[in-house]
């Protein structure tokens, strides 16, 4: 299990909150908008961070895992990470595949979206009824014991994918 640095998380959260000002909503579009703002300042042609490219900072490993290049990548004429970086539609499709999932019949293989993987990890720990009861619930985190740093979160499908995204 990874070590959690409350101070570093607090700094990251403060930077993220600046980027997320005026963002409202708890649906998938709001979630993807938030990820894009935090990962790349909403720039599809964002300079690569190591081996991660585009608005959502995805990489070849992920695109191969989801079979993106052999499915939707072929349709969109995207065969390389460089072509991926210059194609906003490809980046949006890949994000939907990563976070929400695309049925395997479209990609020719079975893979778990981050949402599906997280839900499977909860099996045996929580009943479906308990999971359903969590959906829509809010909770507040006070960073470093400073009440001014308090943040309130709502649990929904997009936030479950977001939590899995942060676990990479």
- pLDDT in the model for residue 16: 65
Tens digits of residue pLDDT in 56-69: 899 998 898 888 89
pLDDT at 152 over 50: yes
Exposure string for 114-129, b = 16+ CB within 10 A, e = fewer: bbbebbeeeeeeeeee
Cα 86–chain centre separation: 20
Distance CA 36, CA 126 (A): 31
Q: Are strands 138-141 and 151-154 parallel, antiparallel or unpaired?
A: antiparallel
Contact 60, 31 (CB under 8 A): no
Cα four-point dihedral sign 14, 19, 21, 27 = negative
CB 132 within 8 A of CB 103: no
Structure-model confidence comparison of residues 144 and 5, the more confident one: 144
Name the DSSP class of 48: P
The whole-number average pLDDT for the span 121-127 is 76
Length of the chain equals: 168
Model pLDDT for residues 107-120, shown as the tens digit of each residue: 556 666 666 767 77
Tokens of 20: 């997320």
Residue 35 CA, chain-centre distance (Å), reads 6
Interval 5-19 mean pLDDT: 63
What CA dihedral angle connects 60, 64, 69 and 72, to 10 degrees?
Answer: -110
Would you call 31 exposed, middle or buried from its count of C-beta atoms within 10 A (0-12, 13-18, 19+)? buried
The domain spans of the chain are: 10-166
CB 28 within 8 A of CB 100: yes
**Residue-level pLDDT at 77:** 96
What percent of the chain has a predicted confidence (pLDDT) above 90?
A: 17
């Amino acid at each position: 299990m990874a070590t959690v640095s409350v101070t570093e998380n607090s700094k990251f959260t403060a930077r993220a909150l600046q980027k997320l000002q005026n963002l409202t909503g708890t649906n998938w579009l709001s979630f993807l908008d938030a990820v894009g703002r935090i990962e790349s300042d909403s720039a599809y042609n964002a300079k690569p961070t190591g081996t991660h490219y585009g608005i959502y900072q995805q990489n070849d490993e992920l695109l191969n895992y989801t079979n993106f290049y052999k499915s939707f990548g072929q349709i969109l004429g995207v065969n390389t990470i460089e072509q991926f970086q210059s194609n906003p539609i490809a980046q949006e499709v890949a994000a939907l595949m990563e976070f929400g999932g695309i049925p395997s019949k479209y990609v020719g293989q079975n893979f778990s979206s981050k949402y599906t993987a997280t839900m499977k990890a909860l099996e045996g720990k929580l009943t479906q009824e308990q999971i359903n009861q969590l959906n829509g619930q809010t909770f507040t985190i006070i960073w470093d014991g400073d009440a001014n740093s308090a943040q309130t979160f709502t649990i929904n499908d997009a936030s479950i994918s977001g939590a899995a995204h942060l676990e990479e």
